[in-house]
Amino acid sequence: MNVFVQAWDNRATWKAVYAKKLAKLGYNPQKMNKNNLVNPAAVVADTLHRSGLNGKRVYLIGEQGLRDEMDELGIEYFGHGPEKKMDEEGGAFMYDIKLEENVGAVVVGYEKHFDYTKLMKASNYLREDDVLFVATNEDETCPGPNPEVVIPDAGPIVAAIKCASGRDPLTVGKPCTPAFNYIKRKWNINPSRTMMIGDRTNTDVKFGRDHGMKTLLVLSGCHQIEDIIENQMNERDDMVPDFVAPCLGALVPERV
């Protein structure tokens, strides 16, 4: 059986950084390197490349990982980073914004510089029906070092743009099918001999169950045993894992 573990964080921790971290943790760099890691940024860039932008540019709300993957495929983008602050003195509201021409897609992921101006620009670009709306993922929150602090992920940003634009995105991240299609196309995996490992029942476990893989929930992140029980009570079998482990390290035999 193949065991498939995804590096699914797109906040300035692009694939080369993950590969280096995995090597420090003891993974064989010949088998686990940047060429066989997957994150939403890679799937987004592949989706855009395959869609045929025909020279049009991408309005990007996202971090370094997305930029790296788009650079690799020669996709032109703009809009990332902080917006230039506008002088709003004397005005009740910012009615006017400068929109660029020749925009073929709006890509939305986690970005710490997301603000009202970016929301307004994205929503206006999406008024054109032929402009693609692509999202990395719709996770509500992500884990951090302080469990008492809520850290919003890309989901709330995507939700704001969905609401303002009236458009639904093509979401490529777990549990959606574009990610699975990308993986299957690139590595020709056999789902019945592949395991999906993750710490969320609504993304990792559902992704595996929806696409015919075995699933393992590790309890070192977002969801715990009580979440599994709640899913069972609500008859959400697609979010009930086949196996549970306290952490990923529990899969490694202890050295004597």
Binding residues: 174, 199
Q: Are 77 and 55 in contact (CB under 8 A)?
A: no
Looking at residue 175, its amino acid is: P
Classify the C-alpha dihedral 206-22-181-158 as positive or negative. Answer: positive
- Signed CA dihedral, 242, 243, 247, 251: sign only: negative
Classified as helix, coil or strand, 174 is: coil
Alpha-carbon distance of 31 to 17, in angstroms, equals 16
Q: What are phi and psi of 20, to 5 degrees?
A: -65, -40
Say if residue 251 is exposed, middle or buried (CB neighbours under 10 Å; 0-12, 13-18, 19+).
Answer: middle
For residue 127, the 8-state DSSP code is T
**Residues, the chain:** 256
Q: What count of other Cβ atoms lies within 10 Å of the Cβ of residue 120?
A: 17
- Going by the annotation, the residues of the binding site for substrate are 174
Contact 114, 61 (CB under 8 A): yes
φ/ψ of residue 195, rounded to 5? -115, 135
Amino acid at 199: D
Summarize the annotated binding site for Mg(2+) as residue ranges.
Answer: 199
